[in-house]
Amino acid sequence: LSPQDLAGQRFVISAGGTREPIDPVRFLGNRSTGRFGIALALAAAHRGASVDLVACNVDAALLPHHPTITIHEAGSARELQAHMVRLADGAQVVIMTAAVADFRPATATESKLKKDGTVPEFDLVENPDILHGLASDRDHGAYVVGFAAETGDEHGSVLDYGRAKAKKKGADLLVVNRVGETSGFGDVETAITILDRFGEIRAEAGGSKSQMAGVVINTIISSRTGD
Catalytically active residues, by annotation: 30
Binding positions for CTP are 102, 112, 128-131, 147, 165, 169
Identify the CA nearest to 50 among candidates 33, 71, 34. 71
State which residue, 93 or 131, has the beta carbon closest to ligand C5P. Answer: 131
Among 45, 56, 130, 216, binds ligand C5P (CB under 6 A): 130
* Phi, psi angles (nearest 5°) of residue 133: -65, -45
**Burial state string for 178-201 with b = 16 or more CB within 10 A and e = fewer than 16:** bbeeeebbeeeebbbbbbbbeeee
For 53, 148, 173, the CA distances from 165, given in Å and listed in that order, are: 24, 8, 11
Q: How far is the CB of 6 from ligand C5P (least distance, A)?
A: 21
Question: How many residues are given for the chain?
Answer: 227
Contacts of 47 (CB under 8 A, 6+ apart): 2, 3, 4, 5, 6, 7, 217
Our finding on whether 146 is near ligand C5P (CB under 6 A) is yes
Is residue 166 at the binding interface for ligand C5P, with CB under 6 A as the rule?
Answer: no
Select 131 or 212, whichever has its Cβ closest to ligand C5P.
Answer: 131
- Of the candidates 99, 94, 97, which has an alpha carbon nearest to the alpha carbon of residue 49? 94
Number of residues this chain uses to bind ligand C5P (CB under 6 A): 12
Site string for ligand C5P, 80-119 (x = CB under 6 A): ----------------x-x-x-x-----------------
- Cβ 101 to ligand C5P, closest distance in Å? 7
Residue ranges binding ligand C5P (CB under 6 A): 77, 96, 98, 100, 102, 127, 129-131, 146-148
